[in-house]
Structure 1
Amino acid sequence: MYQQSPSRHSLVSSIIKITQHFSDMTYNCITTGDQSELSLRQVTSEELLSTRPMNKTAMSSAWHQSKRGRGHRRKEQGGANRDRLEEQKAEDSVPRGTCLTMCPAYELRQREAQNRLHRFEMVAGTERDRLPRADVSRAVKEYSRPAAGKDSTRASDLRPPSVLLKTVCYLVDEVAASSTFQPWTEVYSFVFDRLRSVRQDMIIQRVSGPDCVAVLEKSVRFLLYASYRLCGQQRQYFDPRINDTHLQECLSWLLESYRDGKHQHQEQFQALSLLYNLGSTEAIQHVLELPERIRSSPAVQLALAVSRAHMERNPVRLLRLAQRLDFIQVCAVHRHLLPCRTDLLLLYSHGHSSRNCRYPLQRLARLLFLKDTLAAELCQVYGVNVSGEWVNFSKSSFTDAASGDLQCRSMHEPLDDEQWNCSANSVIQGCA
């Protein structure tokens, strides 16, 4: 006799009894991404009964989804590999200079044959010859504008970073800071052009690191000093706007280079940048975002105090703080001092306007951060009456009509050539 098949009810009861003999604990392998972990979880009889075998449609969907996931991961890995290869290829394509002299041999021969040598580059005694000879130890590569069809990336025409730094040291320390080369307007023109050529080589080779920072620091000091010494000169000798453009470019590049790590003179040049750009909210924001060790340094704190006084239109406090600056910092801030002195005279002309009120000239000169004679000249320009050692303020007599023709150079401390050369030697080389 064939045994009768059990009913559905009895089958369900048997399954429930079997599952109750277990501890209802089972290992369940959960697969997540590319990793599998073994976790312990409780499985109830209801879950066991509700389990159904996966149909063909669900299996196909899961298989395609898994395939798409693997393909997406392979695509991401392939994209990352391509990016690395492109970066490596771009790095390998950057030209590397092989010229070990300050001026490439090809350019030196060409300029010598075309009589285009600067007199600072000629062999002594040949200046009056029809074709003066070039002094290899003094000739420096000149700046040339990029032109169509001109290859500016030849390795033999590019100087490596160490040679570029050596070139800048020669230009700044031995030419600009020397009393041998005169007049200084011609010195400025020569050094300015050759420094521009140095930066051109740096850009082509994507130079970075300590050599780049050292080159930019010396360039900034030179351009700051030139902006002070040549202030008020005729445009054919010195254009302040062009000098300002190149100085701002050097400062921006230098501050960006400081992000790569710690540098010895970073605090000083962060302060110089803020002093040169008084009134700029971007400059203030940049300083406030600096690390605490830099922001709390004495140089940066003093620059922040000067900047705050300038923003608050407090000329008395600003000029008092300016007297605590060193010479190179004064060079950076000097273009803002004349408007500040004008504001102070306007303020005092209204605050001390009285026929019977006399103000000591010597005390006013200290407030203006000027010598007594220069303070008296400035008062006369703005209509402030000076009588001997006393100043009589009057708001009705004050005028700033002539301030547009007044050059801030006239308010500089008068220096002769020897004093200028001494200051150049200490300031440009970083001793002051």
Structure 2
Amino acid sequence: MKPEEDQRHDKQTVPKGTCQTMCPAHELRARERQKRLHRFEILQGTENERCPRGDPLHAVKEYSRPAAGKDATNPADLRPTPVLLKTVCYLINDVAASPDLHPWTEVYSFVFDRLRAVKQDMIIQRVSGPDCVSILERAVRFLVYASFRLCGEPLGLYDPSINDTHLQENLSWLLDCYAVGTESYPNQEEFQALGLLYNLGSSRAAQHIMELPERLRSGPTIRLALSINRAFRERNPVRLLRLAHKLNFLQYCALHRHLVTCRRDLLLVYSHGYSSRNCCFSLDNLALLLFLDKSLTAQLCRSHGVEVTKDNHVVFSKSAFTEPEQGKTQCKLYHSTVVEKQRDLDVGSIIDGSA
């Protein structure tokens, strides 16, 4: 078979979805019978019935692993691209951003699973182009935001490793879409920078940025991310934290997992550079450097063996510096200043990209 014939054959064999609802009708009926509807999908007023009914307007296809003998390519079970985009917008705007649905760990679990099902439909149908990019951008923002909001939650409610795996997969797919597409994607600079901030210190991530076209690479968002990455690689925590002040909220969500190490490095550097009983460092100034309030700065110092006096001075000593006990520098304990960046921003606008 010739290459041209191969391509025509491939196009003919790629299934095209015909399901026009967020959840195929037969799946909704099956999950009703099996009592496997999520409470977010139950038709209002039937919650207390022996078999609660599903709401066709709120039910969303759940993720299921490919099984032997199961046909995953049935067009009636696959949602075409416009329906997939509509589904993702519903998951973000009506579920993830809802002020009435809680706890957010359950919201996350539901949205995470349904986004996996969306991705599965996309892969089977080999979705590409602008709609594919729109879906992936929202998925990446959701996973980046969740990595910050649910940081420190018990593993039974949120697994950061699983979230990281899916974030990296979606981000990689998105960046590939940018690379092969001929369209102009207005959010590309945002996501190129997010990828670098999330993977700070990665040679592969930095190399990818350096291979971008000059007009894109020289954008202010990417230039800032490159400066932060350089400070990280040079072990310059003071410069890194100073630059981090310029980040918006979602960018800080991407960066935040690196800050425990960064702040520890700053205290270590200062414990050597200002190691003297006669040299006192202002707690206020240190708080500004660490991008923390005074009480959290004092708490962080003491967890590393750094003395804080009653008159709010810090006494550094290279011999006194210690690595903290496990759990004492949990990232979540130092989120308060970042939350300030979220003021006046709702979850929907953060993930939808309108913030």
TM-score of the alignment, normalized to the shorter chain, above 0.5:
yes
Tell me which residue corresponds to 1:236.
156
- The question of whether the paired residues in 1 share the 8 Å contact of 2:303 and 2:328 is answered with no
Cα distance in 2, alignment partners of residues 89 and 343 from structure 1: 57
Tell me which residue corresponds to 2:300.
378
Name which one, 1 or 2, has greater alpha-carbon Rg.
1
Q: Aligned to 1:345, what secondary structure does the other structure show? A: helix
Q: CA RMSD in A?
A: 1.6
TM-score (norm 2): 0.95
Tell me which residue corresponds to 2:279.
357
Q: Aligned to 1:246, what secondary structure does the other structure show? A: helix
- The question of whether the paired residues in 1 share the 8 Å contact of 2:276 and 2:315 is answered with yes
**Partner residue of 1:137 out of 57, 61, 67:** 57
Q: How many residues align?
A: 350
Alignment of 1:144-159 (within 5 A): 144-159=64-79
Q: Encode CA deviations 1:172-191: one digit per residue, 9 max, x unaligned.
A: 11111111110000000000
Stretch moving more, 265-274 or 377-386: 377-386
- The question of whether the paired residues in 1 share the 8 Å contact of 2:300 and 2:329 is answered with no
Counterpart of 1:220, as a letter, is V
- Asked if 1:402 corresponds to 2:344, the answer is no
Task: Please report how far the alpha carbon of residue 430 of structure 1 lies from its aligned counterpart in structure 2 after TM superposition.
Answer: 1.6
**Partner residue of 2:257 out of 316, 320, 335:** 335
Tell me which residue corresponds to 2:96.
176
- The question of whether the paired residues in 2 share the 8 Å contact of 1:179 and 1:421 is answered with no
Cα distance in 2, alignment partners of residues 118 and 149 from structure 1: 26
Task: Please report how far the alpha carbon of residue 420 of structure 1 lies from its aligned counterpart in structure 2 after TM superposition.
Answer: 8.5
The 1:415/1:395 distance shift into structure 2, 3 A limit, reads closer
Unaligned runs of 5+ in 2: none
Q: Encode CA deviations 1:280-312: one digit per residue, 9 max, x unaligned.
A: 111011000001111011000000000111111
Alignment of 1:267-346 (within 5 A): 267-346=189-268
Counterpart of 1:127, as a letter, is E
- The question of whether the paired residues in 2 share the 8 Å contact of 1:122 and 1:132 is answered with yes
The 1:118/1:415 distance shift into structure 2, 3 A limit, reads farther
Cα distance in 2, alignment partners of residues 208 and 288 from structure 1: 25
Task: Please report how far the alpha carbon of residue 147 of structure 1 lies from its aligned counterpart in structure 2 after TM superposition.
Answer: 0.3
- Asked if 1:428 corresponds to 2:348, the answer is no
Tell me which residue corresponds to 2:8.
88
**Partner residue of 1:203 out of 123, 127, 130:** 123
Task: Please report how far the alpha carbon of residue 406 of structure 1 lies from its aligned counterpart in structure 2 after TM superposition.
Answer: 2.7
Task: Please report how far the alpha carbon of residue 123 of structure 1 lies from its aligned counterpart in structure 2 after TM superposition.
Answer: 1.2
% identical equivalent positions: 61
Q: Encode CA deviations 1:268-287: one digit per residue, 9 max, x unaligned.
A: 00000000001111101100
Higher relative contact order at CA 8 Å, sep ≥6: structure 1 or structure 2?
A: 2
Q: Encode CA deviations 1:122-173: one digit per residue, 9 max, x unaligned.
A: 1122222211111111000000000000001000000000000000000011
Unaligned runs of 5+ in 1: 1-78
**Partner residue of 1:366 out of 288, 293, 306:** 288
Q: Aligned to 2:186, what secondary structure does the other structure show? A: coil
Task: Please report how far the alpha carbon of residue 421 of structure 1 lies from its aligned counterpart in structure 2 after TM superposition.
Answer: 9.6
Cα distance in 2, alignment partners of residues 219 and 297 from structure 1: 23
Q: Aligned to 2:325, what secondary structure does the other structure show? A: helix
Stretch moving more, 333-342 or 394-403: 394-403
Tell me which residue corresponds to 2:144.
224
- The question of whether the paired residues in 1 share the 8 Å contact of 2:292 and 2:337 is answered with no
Counterpart of 1:343, as a letter, is D
TM-score (norm 1): 0.79
The 1:306/1:414 distance shift into structure 2, 3 A limit, reads closer
